Chains A and B, each alone.
Chain A
Amino acid sequence: MSSRMKQWIVVLALIILGLGVYQLIAAIKLTTTTGLLQVTSDDKKSVISVSQANHQAAGIGVGSARAHLKPGTYTVVASTSTAQANQIITIVKHQTLTIDLKPVKKASQNPLDSTTFVGADALVSHGLSSGQLASLKGLLSAYAPKAQTITVNGSSIESGETDPDTGVFKLNFTVQIDSGTYSATVNYAVSNNVQLLLYTQGSTTPLYSAGSAT
């Protein structure tokens, strides 16, 4: 073995040893400046996260988690798509805090927003106000509350005849609600209230009529 090779091996070994020392010092420093949080959740699929006032949140584990945190007050959340549990905790230096979260079914938070609307904003460029569009979305959601996607075909949008007596405007378009395609008419005037008429394609009799244009 040449002496040059020995030198390189020594240098490499010392670097690795130095990193080990650094890791150990950093670990000791960490445990002396933080507290340890141990979380378990009854729902093993729940995502566990922590947040603090005026700070970002961070996920720390699924089902259970261990995390070193700086001293302070945090909100710990265990959540799935249907259930959630929150707990406010205080982390103290050098101390270990163990908590168990029991997620319970979430209250209905956004019943009209389980649906994704695609292309609906194009109606605004044809004359609908944002408030009227919101009303229209509400009526479409009321017709198909469990729809995953409602797509407005932008190229199908056309203005209908305006009623000279009532001043009600009309837009006709086709809309796809999940796998079904419908013809639709939205009647609107000056307020945010709109009327929605839905037809099966080719039919002149509405299968659904809701709201009123005022």
Chain B
Amino acid sequence: MSTRKKKTEMEKVPEPTYKGSSFSIDPSLMGRFRRVGKSPLEDELESEDSMLAHDLKSMRVDEIVLKRRARIAKLQKEIEKLEKDSDKTDSMDSNIPRISVAMAQQIANLPPEERNKVIETYAAFRSIDQSKGKGDSLLPLLVGYSKTNPGSTQSDMVTYAKAMADQFKIGIDVMKSVMPTPEKASSSTEALKLMKDLIIEGVRNPVLSAIEKNQPQPSAFEQILMNPDMFSRAKEIGMFGGSEPRTGSTNVDLEIEKMRGERELSIKKLDLEWRKSMLENDAKDKRTDAVLTALAPLSAVFAGPVNQRMRQFGQQQAAAYTPENIPKSGNTILIRCSCGYQGPMTFSGQPPNIVKCPNCGLDLVVGGAPNGGEPQETDRDT
């Protein structure tokens, strides 16, 4: 709470008095009495006083700054000393495992058996190999191995840890060969590059190779699926069927394909045999046609004699063979022509006066004089 002073009675203002050329102004206007018109000496003294006061102030500020700088320096020294002490303590405690909280959580999340195996393997490996930090880097790998290979034996895990350690050692050697002297890595870029190579050669590649070694080998079918060339070739031979979805195993598909090929070949064979038969028939017909075509001119040459011989042959056959039931109708006359033709000619009714020779076409007079040809009535009405 603030305390306020009660208003007291106003001070009694002295009355101005005249002292030479000076005079006083009413204090109610100026707040106080001010002497106007000092002497030069007083002014000089006041000026010196103010300068001295200013110098004193500056000196006091400098003193404060110096003191603070000294304190900062002292603190820095103490920090450095503490840091050195800390490093010394760290180096002395390197045997203590440095496990991160996340890693500890992962280990805790493992099943009890797997957790024990990881811890025992880690402890055994650290006890065997005293290299600093090597076991610490293996712990995540052991946890990963336990997760990916649950149920594996302790010896398998130890083998895996040893393989990892060897790979880590190889990585260190590679790093040393790449970086013979630490002075070369003075540049930060070079240092980063070396760290990258170290990580790739010492950690990533060993981990990948170890994972690959511990993974189960893919089957032949998986290898075909993973290899684009093999997959395309298998698809071409119908191992995975065509565009149409099919069921059944690959062997069944191959058998179906084989049967289909045999059926197509059989159909092709039948088709070829049919075409061969057609060609053979055509060839035979052509040969026969050639023979018969050759007969055409011969027939022209021998038309007359062959006709006559055939007619005579028919007459001879008729004389030797007499049908049992010859219709008795018409009249038959015997024709004798100057061409040498001689034979009967039958008519349903009375024969005409003039008939043509069946052989040469000459007009013959029935019952007329034989002037070149004369038909003779022989078996009329018989």
Question: Do these two chains really belong together in a complex?
Answer: no
B-side residues, CB < 8 A to A, are none
A interface residue numbers (CB < 8 A to B): none
